[in-house]
Each structure stands twice: as C-alpha cells, then as structure tokens.
Structure 1
Amino acid sequence: MKELDDYILQFGNLNDQQLAFIKKKAIAIDLQKDDYFSEAGKIPMQVGFIVEGVIRGCYYNNKGEEITRCFIAENSFVVDYVNLEANTSSSEYLQAATACKLLVFSKQDWEELAQTIIGWDVIRSKIFQNCLYLKSRKGPVISQDATTRYLEFMTNYPSLINRVPLAYIASYLGVTQQSLSRIRKNIR
C-alpha cells in the first residue's frame, strides 16, 4: 500500500523491511456508510488509515442534537488518540460519512510497532499530532454568517462537497439543511 508508506515516510525514515512489518500488522476492513469506527461510551481500541472514503467526528450536544465536528478523508490516520492513550471511554463518534476502506491496527499491534521499530515512537507521535490537527482544524467560526461558513467549507474541503450527505455538512456548519440548500442555491 504505497499511500500508507508515503504517509508514514513524511514523518521519518524507515527501510523496506520496517514498512513491510508495519503493513503486516494492518488488517483491511470496509465500513459501510454510517458504520462506526469508534463510538462514544467505549474505549477506542484501534488506529485506522483511510484508504478510501470519509470519516466524520461527531457528538450529541446537551439538547440531543447531532453535531459534526470534523471530516477526515483518504490518506489520513483516524483515531481517538486521547482516549486510546488514556484507555478511557470516548465522548465522540468516528463514523463513516461514505463507504470506507481502511487499514486498521489493533491497539496492541500499534504499540508493538514501537517496541520493534527504532524511531517509531517519534513517527507515531507526529502521526497522532496530525490526527489531532485534522480533528480540530478548519472548524467554522459561528460568529460568521452561514454563507461565509459554507464558502470556507468549500475552500477547506473541496473534495467533500458532493461526497458527504448535506445533513452532515449542515451539522458541521451549524445550520439546518433547509438553510444550507438556500445558501447553495444562492451561490450558484
């Protein structure tokens, strides 16, 4: 899997044998749209690399409304890092926004890589920093008007506009689907 190799190698140098060992630990899985990679109330036990598809991070607010916090697309790792490391229950969901293909590492195998590959801890740390960045980046600024938020979404996530359900985009932007439809109609 060249994409996985390329992603890992941007954070450090590994030889072909080390890369082969990493890939040997990964299990290919498919998630159908709306399947969960990680669920609130459960301790995360895996790290995934998205080969194809989009995962969204979401939670329920105190009114019971579903809020989309982020989108993570191909050639990125996806993990609830804080809770994986702390061995604590997650408060968020990582859900397939589209059908997805992932390479998945169990927590045990992920940790075994650190014990086997010299320098893996540094690479792993950089991967997790990037995961945290992807989960927090480019969020809409609620003080902006909805049209501005949507235009920024189009700039930040151009490949997602026609791939993920409008309900998820509306939730991410903090607007109703009807408002999002009006905004989209007015922009065209």
Structure 2
Amino acid sequence: MKDTLIELISKISSGCMGEDEIARVADEAAQAYADPAAFLAANPDINYDESFPIPLGEWVVVGSLPETVLFQADTYMDLFEQIVQSFGPDVAFNIKPRQLAKVEPLVALNRIQIQLGSMNKEMGGYVLMDFSQPLDDELQAVLVYGCDEARVLELAATAGIHAAPSLNAMRAKG
C-alpha cells in the first residue's frame, strides 16, 4: 500500500511536495489503513472518528496535502482562484476567476478544463480531478498531468480513494 500511495501522492502533487514529505505521508497513511486503532492510539492529536465518510488512511492522505495540491471550495470561481494562486504570479491565465461567477457549473468547469488542458503541453496539459470525498466543501480536486491521468485513476482505485476527471464526472451526473 505504501508504494501505491507514494506514487499516487507524487503524481497528484506535481512537484509541490518533496520526496521526504511524500514518503512520510504515505507511511502514515499506510499505517492508518493497516491498523486504524493503533494509529489513533499513537497519534492522540488526530481529529478523526468513525463518523467520517472516508477511511482513516484516506483522511491522512487528504489532510496532509498542501493547499497548492488539494483545492477545496464551494464554487468553481473560488476553486479556480485557488488554482491560479497555486501557479503564482508568473503564470498567465486566459480567463479570470470572476468570469466564472455567473455561469452554470458545467460551463465554468468546461472553461477551467480548457484553460488547464492548454498548459504544460509536453505533459499533456493538466486535468482537474475530483479527489476523495469532500468533507467541508462542495468541491475538492487536484491537478494531474494529462499524461498521468490513467495511472492516477488506477492508483487511486488501488488505494480505495475516489478519483475522477471533474468534467467527465459532472457530465455523467448531468
């Protein structure tokens, strides 16, 4: 499980997390998956209980991702604002978050995906991917390189963590 988690976290963090940090998170999450009671006993400061809709190991992964990797928001405008900020001021975007304020969610998500797909062409662009189950926000997503999309879906499935390309998931719901 640890190797799966290391590869998964490496691919969704796209260079925003160091190898040591990734290995630490994967190790803790693997322990939490293997023996939740022992993990909670060894980490009494962890704020988790059985009422959470995701397993403890998944909760450790999600809770350990920095805000430059895991984007959480209630609107696509706010989600896109976080994405823009994660790239920093040197990266230009063709659309502005406020342009998403008054459009339908599917239109907003499509615009975001078109913008992200046009970036970093040598890696196949970026794919906005729903990740895990949102606990406090309506939307929870990560960015993955287009060339890594299939592998990320495979790794997430192996780890038992929900992952789906956001645009495809919304179209399937619609």
TM-score higher than 0.5 here?
A: no
Tell which structure's C-alpha radius of gyration is larger: 1
Higher helix share: 2
Q: How does the TM-score come out when normalised to structure 1?
A: 0.25
Higher strand share: 1
